[in-house]
Amino acid sequence: MILLLFVIPFISGLLAFFLRNDLLRRRLLLSVACGHSAFSLYLCLFRGVDQQWLGFGMDALSRYFTAIFSLLFLCASFYAVIYLREEKSKPREESEEGLLFDNAPEAAFTGCLLIFLASMSLLALSRHFGLIWIAMETTTLVSAPLIYFHRHPRSLEATWKYLLICSVGIALALFGNLFLAVSASASGSGAELSLDRLLKAGVSLDPLWLKAGFIFILVGYGTKMGLAPMHTWLPDAHSEAPSVVSALLSGALLNCAFLAILRFYQLCLANGLGGFCRELFLIFGFLSMAVACLFIIGQSDYKRLLAYSSVEHMGILCFAVATGSAYGAMLHAANHSFVKGALFICAGNILAYFKSKKIADVRGMAHLLPWAGVLWFAGILAICGAPPFGTFLSEWIILKSAAASGNILLPAAYLFLLSVIFIAMTGIGMRMSFGVPGTTLAAQEYGGKKHFLPLLPALILLSISLLLGIYLPESLGRAVSEAAALLGGNI
């Protein structure tokens, strides 16, 4: 039954390649996204039963992550449909150099989107490290054509970097899996890669090979997750991809890579290597936050700004796991996904209006595009962890557990980096939203009425994050703590 989460998007993805009718294809995308998110939300919130079938199964962790990316996918696909309709009707011009360019065929784009959803579901459903690896590699391969939707040199360059860097990273993760198999064969049950049987074997795994495996997995999948210093593909891909795809890469794909690392972490916990793993998480977490901080200050491109902010938040997730606050990490993963999705959708609207990705070119949105201006600024506040939003709550929980760890340096450095990023990002957000409008370029051709509809998904995502900050429903709270319990965490 749960396998439907993978099978239906996969089949309809293949179908989308061959559907000639644009309208029909867009309806297919929307209906699959609706069905997928309804089903996964139902599984996450109301039916906390672990199911198992062959190498597939769902536990609290995968139910939770599936619900996050599925909800984000629904909002993104809603925006994608509007976006594809717009793209069809107007001539296209490259934003940086003013070159004309073509788009990839819409059928291929929709098909890849759906198969992307399918491969992420496969990743969440797998209870076998080999399958997880295959699903991860598949997400890379199907998202590469998505990044190269606008056929111009810059996106091509980004696609090449993405493909090569992530493929090498995932190859390293394969080494990690093989090391795990060596480690498992020490326990006498043969080379085993099934998560459940390995968890049962627990302490009898060979710790030396398991450690080596974890390093390879963290570096390998960490490349995909965007941890510094392996993050270099991320700002390029996020800034050159269409905004829908950036939202999905940032909100869904990075979390999935995190999930894959957490699976391995579960094993290490069972083996008693938790301390070793947390040290590594701490190093990569801090490095990511620091690198992101450096590049956010003085950033001149607002999509790259969002990309570096993703690097920062992946660092925060690692930091949370390192300080033992798995609950905070889970909550923060959801909050980051929703807010970042909303911000990228806003960025897409801003780009469509101002035709520039430069921060300096965007001024006074509150006058020109009231909805986008307000949502953009609210989103920037939310992503920096300002109080009413859910991000504040999760960052606060993480801070509390860092303070409880006994080492005063940890919370201090964490707070310092967060506040520097807060100042830098809100400054930029304020100038973009409330500055004095400069010369208005294409103001007329972008009709006034159309403003609101493409922003609706962003509004919904932001409201969810706001809700999470004010009121956490009981069923959701249970889902979060069950997921955190698998990582040996408490609040």
Q: Which residues contact another protein (rule: CB under 8 A)?
A: 128, 130-131, 133-134, 137-138, 140-141, 144-145, 148, 151-154, 156-161, 163-164, 167-168, 171, 174-175, 178, 181-183, 185-186, 190-191, 193, 206, 208-209, 212, 235-236, 239-240, 295, 298-301, 304
CB 15, min distance to another protein, A: 20
CB 282, min distance to another protein, A: 24
Please state, as a whole number, how many other Cβ atoms lie within 10 Å of the Cβ of residue 403: 16
- What one-character DSSP code corresponds to residue 19? -
**Cα distances (Å, whole numbers) of residue 66 to 46, 70, 127:** 14, 6, 14
Q: Distance (Å, rounded) from C-alpha 427 to C-alpha 421? A: 10
**Cα distances (Å, whole numbers) of residue 13 to 18, 76, 230, 359, 478:** 9, 16, 31, 36, 33
Residue 64 or 209: the one with the smaller Cβ distance to another protein is 209
Helix/strand/coil for 95: coil
Q: Distance (Å, rounded) from C-alpha 392 to C-alpha 397? A: 9
CB 178, min distance to another protein, A: 5
CB 55, min distance to another protein, A: 9
CB 150, min distance to another protein, A: 12
- What one-character DSSP code corresponds to residue 204? G
The residue written with tokens 């909100």 in the block is 251
Residue 153 or 202: the one with the smaller Cβ distance to another protein is 153
Buried b / exposed e across 197-226, counting CB within 10 Å, b at 16+?
Answer: ebbebeeebbeebbbbbbbbbbbbbbbbbb
CB 279, min distance to another protein, A: 19
Residue 141 or 386: the one with the smaller Cβ distance to another protein is 141
Residue 106 or 395: the one with the smaller Cβ distance to another protein is 106
CB 211 within 8 A of CB 255: no
Q: Distance (Å, rounded) from C-alpha 260 to C-alpha 319? A: 17
Residue 181 or 283: the one with the smaller Cβ distance to another protein is 181
Residue 317 or 359: the one with the smaller Cβ distance to another protein is 359
Q: Which amino acid would we find at residue 167?
A: S
CB 475, min distance to another protein, A: 36
Residue 80 or 359: the one with the smaller Cβ distance to another protein is 359
